[in-house]
Amino acid sequence: MELKKPGVTLTILWGKYRAVYPDGCGFSWFCDLFRGFKRRPTPTMRQIPIAGDKVFVDYFGKKLPIVDRKTGEIREADLCRRAELTK
C-alpha cells in the first residue's frame, strides 16, 4: 500500500486523486472513505480442523547450514516454524 511508503501522507494521496479527478470528493470525505477501506476485513479461508486429518507446516523459507563435526560436511536444512496436526 502506498501509504506505508516513507513520506506519504493522506494529503499527498488526496492530491494525486484530485489530479486525476478534479471534481472528486473533498479531503475530509476522502479520509473517511480511506478509513473505511482500511477497516474492511481481509479475506481469509476459514478451516474447521478435524483432528488427525491434515498436517499444516509453515517454513521460514531460508535454509540453515548444519555442519557435521566429524567430516566438516555442510548440509542445509529447512526450518519449520510451526507444524499442526489435525484430525
**26-65 pLDDT, tens digit each:** 999 999 988 888 777 777 777 777 777 777 777 777 788 9
Q: 70 in the Ramachandran plot: left (φ > 0), alpha (ψ -120 to 50) or beta?
A: alpha
Q: Which is nearest to 54 in space by CA: 87, 6, 8?
A: 87
Domain chopping of the chain, boundaries: 2-39, 54-86
Q: Which three cell numbers stand for residue 34?
A: 480511506
Share in percent of the chain as helix, strand, coil (round to 5): 30, 30, 40
In which band, very low, low, confident or very high, does the pLDDT at 84 lie, cut at 50, 70 and 90?
A: low
In which band, very low, low, confident or very high, does the pLDDT at 22 lie, cut at 50, 70 and 90?
A: very high
Give the rounded percent of residues in the chain with a pLDDT score beyond 90.
34
